[in-house]
Structure 1
């Protein structure tokens, strides 16, 4: 099993639809890997036009009237990004060989233990040709990875005729990536989609060649080991290898939050560390059998498998601990990069809002039409416009993109719960029931209907605003999706300063108020359980009681794990007693959470 070491020990995860839509163009030349969302083909087409013009490259519009336009738009944009990144990388190497200032700045961005950093430092005076030869032999651009949220796989229609499954949204996105020139990875998030996973079998680029090389790789974003094993084995039975499991905190993350049953990040990573070999061998054995049946090349040894982590990391100490203790291959830094204009696509107003955000401004909201809790920020332009429509009795979105039109309640073509069409019907139904409800019950029911935001437009608008591109249709403003960690980063930062912060050579944090990432997640899960119990609106079932008890016990077991972890030399030297006291505080708080009992008839 061969292992390739990237230049950096961090990556920039996907953020929203727009926030990392062009991050590779911005940062890949520095060896930084990032992830593009390939959900919104309309935004992607606009970015193709924008960057073709910016770099004087040919552009041919792909309209919705063309066959398979969605996949073709994605392929075209990814090929464009690939070309721009390669060109910028070549120019960057020339700049490094010719400019001592540029080379100094670049060296300052590299990890302290990097062999390449040491190598460059040792040859600063060796001349242009020697430096260029070294760069040619040792540098490569960061990966241009893509993300597909597996739930965004709407059936599509032409008039009233449903198209074949391969034209579903996520299927078309996958085809767009598979047909591109990229040699990188697709990150699959939001859980297993068996139909989509099976569709991978249609593309040879996801199978190993005779050199044990995968032209395109699969990364699964997971929240626990069990999920990784189930999904990895499912794909392995089709001859497909998962090259990376990207472990994300269930709550201490940006955007959609997929809470576990109280399993905390530390114990989850410990399980991955202990059972990584089991994950590898299980998948390898299944993959070998599947490849034999398919008559494809069979690798003699397991292919490379990486474990990475993201969600709530904010200091070099945490970064290094995750790498060293859990032996992960990379750490994802997301929300802090929203304050780095050189790395992410964010409009000026939203970036200012992010910089001013405090803990109370960042919250787990009900605004997603998917019905999944969504980490966002108070005071966005989207929230203001949405509330104005509600006050004017015009609640709901015009729903121009329909990516989240997944509810089949009113027909096979689907409808989005954030749409005006859907909310009008639901509000009318509520009015019929109004006389039977208390004022509080009525208000809560109305809020539950109108809370939903148009994420398809709101999560894309920042790129339009930043690049001065025209926004058509109903005003939706901007939806931003930072994690709670955003509260502790309070000003715009240069790329070099943020990277130096990650590696402990500088800091962008002011003050001492930021909690340890594990403690922060524990608080979030404690609050989550208490809220789940407090806000239950229907008769409590035995299943709910069982789930809450499991959740509570898992939290207490997690605290026990952290008590042992925080007693190790690494934490003893880094932690002040207040951190340990917080564990005791949450332990008592969780122990005192009263789980309701089933009422007997």
Structure 2
């Protein structure tokens, strides 16, 4: 989020490679922040061309053969987004306060108990025309755009080659994406997800925008998406020692989210948020000492006080009541709402076929991702249909069109993608020739190999089909499990009204609480790993699985105490659900075979 705080209490997190690639152009003028994925520079260049044509802006192509094309494409696109949003804000501020105008919509979308919304309502009630004009002018001065943040998946850091020779690190995918962002005009945050990448974090020091200016302000800020306090501590300290400040810790539920699910060791959402709440002050103070020492050694400006730090969260929140409880009890700055926005076509890029599929979709946690990370998927997508068809035709694996997931070196250099035909043919042959595997093991491993799908190309389909860029792509989509609670296409206003409790879009008012849903997902995942371990398939060690079980048990105890102290409505239902899940957890037997 930008240095000027948005009056909204939610943001739209990154979704896929293309679902939120231009969401800022729909929501930033209303002070709503969103996140652009910087994985696919091919799509980014296509979207830049599309928007230049749409607004009659001159377009000059940046071909892939041009030196440093990936970074240049990203910089050009982000500057375009920024320019469009700045013009939108100027136009919005100049518009009249009348029914249906953008400036009226700006304030109508705000939370009802916020100071800006109350000032707007006071203006509407003012009968004195001179005072009314003064109030309107004051309101205009308080308008701020939502932040155009970007996301870099630290694991997608494919090395670059030219003429068979590996290029220096700064040309790898993640580093080039970072450079593209760093050289843009944006005043916003880069969200790092998917874990710790010391090479990439070290490269941050090459860009002055991440260091304090003369006013101790950070033009570009760092946001870490983490799944527990320990991860935040390790990464935050590493960056502070390099003179880099983390301005936001974005806590994501490990399983109750869309896209990739980054599994932790059984720590649950509530206890994680509680630890951040209890330890925030000491955490920031400790980081600031490291930060000051590093800046002094670098001979850079050093603030006496820590920069602001935001604690935000995302993953499975589906009601206004859940949103408000998390915000207030855990003292959060904002909450991310992702998958429900896939049903808001004015905000996200979802093609008509995908929209219809989402209305009845049953997301499941799959092994589809070639990154080897659990991935939320739907079985009826065009991408999944094409994958199954290739298997039936005896040609499993996709033709690798973009190569962003070319990270596997199991069969030597250069790396290849696990969803590619090249990899799957070699891997299936290796499994066939492995005499040490039982029939059951071989079949299970074969299924894992065949499940991989081309997500780096197919996830762009929502954007390329909707914007008439490529109508032949077989689209993939990755909603989280929370999507099952919504079943109709809605407007931005309707979704925001749902978030702030002005209406309800839920199809099942008796849906389980977000904490219960996540606990169920964690137990199911543990059961899956136990089954794999029993079959001698890849799974965490016996010690790790036992640790997961113990952490889940501690989490249940935490939720029991929390419900008794804080839940007034639905307390009995919540406690009954916990009781049943505790029984299921206690029945889980960790096999010795899981030991590595």
Q: TM-score range by the shorter chain?
A: over 0.9
Q: Counterpart of 1:403?
A: 404
Range moving further from structure 2, 134-143 or 310-319:
134-143
Q: CA deviation at 1:484?
A: 0.5
Q: 1:411 to 1:278 in 2, by over 3 A?
A: same
- Maintained 8 Å contact 1:335/1:485: yes
CA distance in 2, matches of 1:469, 1:306: 38
Q: Counterpart of 2:562?
A: 565
Q: CA deviation at 1:130?
A: 3.4
Q: Deviations over 1:328-386 (max 9, x none)?
A: 000000000000011111101111111112xxx21110000111100111211100001
Equivalent residue in structure 2 for 1:225, among 204, 226, 229: 229
- Maintained 8 Å contact 2:533/2:594: no
Q: Classify the secondary structure of the residue corresponding to 1:255.
A: coil
Range moving further from structure 2, 228-237 or 105-114:
105-114
Q: CA deviation at 1:107?
A: 3.3
Q: Counterpart of 1:24?
A: 24
Structure 1 residue 544 corresponds to structure 2 residue 541 = yes
Q: CA deviation at 1:437?
A: 5.9
Q: Counterpart of 1:587?
A: 582
Q: CA deviation at 1:536?
A: 2.0
- Maintained 8 Å contact 2:313/2:332: yes
CA distance in 2, matches of 1:438, 1:232: 45
- Maintained 8 Å contact 1:309/1:332: yes
Q: CA deviation at 1:191?
A: 0.4
Q: Counterpart of 1:503?
A: 500
Q: Deviations over 1:240-289 (max 9, x none)?
A: 00000000000000111011111000000000000001221111100101
Q: Classify the secondary structure of the residue corresponding to 2:44.
A: helix
Q: CA deviation at 1:426?
A: 1.5
Q: Deviations over 1:83-124 (max 9, x none)?
A: 111111222223343557655544331112211111111112
Q: Counterpart of 2:488?
A: 491
Q: Classify the secondary structure of the residue corresponding to 1:506.
A: coil
Q: Classify the secondary structure of the residue corresponding to 1:566.
A: helix
CA distance in 1, matches of 2:191, 2:40: 16
Structure 1 residue 430 corresponds to structure 2 residue 431 = yes
Q: Counterpart of 2:281?
A: 277
Structure 1 residue 208 corresponds to structure 2 residue 212 = yes
Q: Classify the secondary structure of the residue corresponding to 2:533.
A: coil
Q: Counterpart of 1:67?
A: 67
Structure 1 residue 164 corresponds to structure 2 residue 168 = yes
Q: 1:91 to 1:440 in 2, by over 3 A?
A: same
Task: Give the 5 Å matches for 1:400-549.
Answer: 400-433=401-434, 440-470=440-470, 477-536=474-533, 539=536, 544-549=541-546
Q: CA deviation at 1:579?
A: 2.0
Q: 1:599 to 1:39 in 2, by over 3 A?
A: closer
CA distance in 1, matches of 2:271, 2:557: 10
Q: Counterpart of 2:262?
A: 258
- Maintained 8 Å contact 1:312/1:483: yes
Q: Deviations over 1:407-433 (max 9, x none)?
A: 122333210011111111122223334
Q: Classify the secondary structure of the residue corresponding to 2:335.
A: strand
CA distance in 1, matches of 2:103, 2:330: 33
Q: CA deviation at 1:599?
A: 10
CA distance in 1, matches of 2:15, 2:408: 24
Q: 1:165 to 1:537 in 2, by over 3 A?
A: farther
Q: Deviations over 1:480-506 (max 9, x none)?
A: 111100011111011001101100011
- Maintained 8 Å contact 1:144/1:184: yes
Q: Counterpart of 1:40?
A: 40
Q: 1:259 to 1:168 in 2, by over 3 A?
A: same
CA distance in 2, matches of 1:71, 1:175: 6
- Maintained 8 Å contact 1:38/1:74: yes
Task: Give the 5 Å matches for 1:109-188.
Answer: 109-124=109-124, 125=126, 126=129, 129-130=133-134, 132-188=136-192
Q: Classify the secondary structure of the residue corresponding to 1:370.
A: coil
Q: 1:37 to 1:541 in 2, by over 3 A?
A: closer
Q: Classify the secondary structure of the residue corresponding to 1:375.
A: strand
Q: Counterpart of 1:349?
A: 353
- Maintained 8 Å contact 1:184/1:216: yes
Equivalences, count: 590
Structure 1 residue 238 corresponds to structure 2 residue 239 = no
Q: 1:557 to 1:599 in 2, by over 3 A?
A: closer
CA distance in 2, matches of 1:8, 1:228: 25
CA distance in 2, matches of 1:101, 1:575: 40
CA distance in 1, matches of 2:457, 2:401: 8
- Maintained 8 Å contact 2:224/2:248: yes
Q: CA deviation at 1:580?
A: 1.3
- Maintained 8 Å contact 1:541/1:598: no
- Maintained 8 Å contact 1:188/1:218: yes
Q: Classify the secondary structure of the residue corresponding to 1:187.
A: strand
- Maintained 8 Å contact 1:94/1:132: no
Structure 2 runs not aligned, ≥5 long: none
Q: Counterpart of 1:383?
A: 384
After TM superposition, the score normalised by the length of structure 2 is: 0.95
Q: Counterpart of 2:335?
A: 331
- Maintained 8 Å contact 1:146/1:187: yes
- Maintained 8 Å contact 1:27/1:342: no
CA distance in 1, matches of 2:50, 2:538: 54
Structure 1 residue 51 corresponds to structure 2 residue 55 = no
CA distance in 1, matches of 2:315, 2:101: 34
Q: Classify the secondary structure of the residue corresponding to 1:582.
A: helix
Q: 1:3 to 1:207 in 2, by over 3 A?
A: closer
- Maintained 8 Å contact 2:536/2:593: no
Task: Give the 5 Å matches for 1:188-207.
Answer: 188-207=192-211
Q: CA deviation at 1:594?
A: 1.3
Q: 1:470 to 1:4 in 2, by over 3 A?
A: closer
CA distance in 2, matches of 1:98, 1:320: 30
Q: Classify the secondary structure of the residue corresponding to 1:151.
A: coil
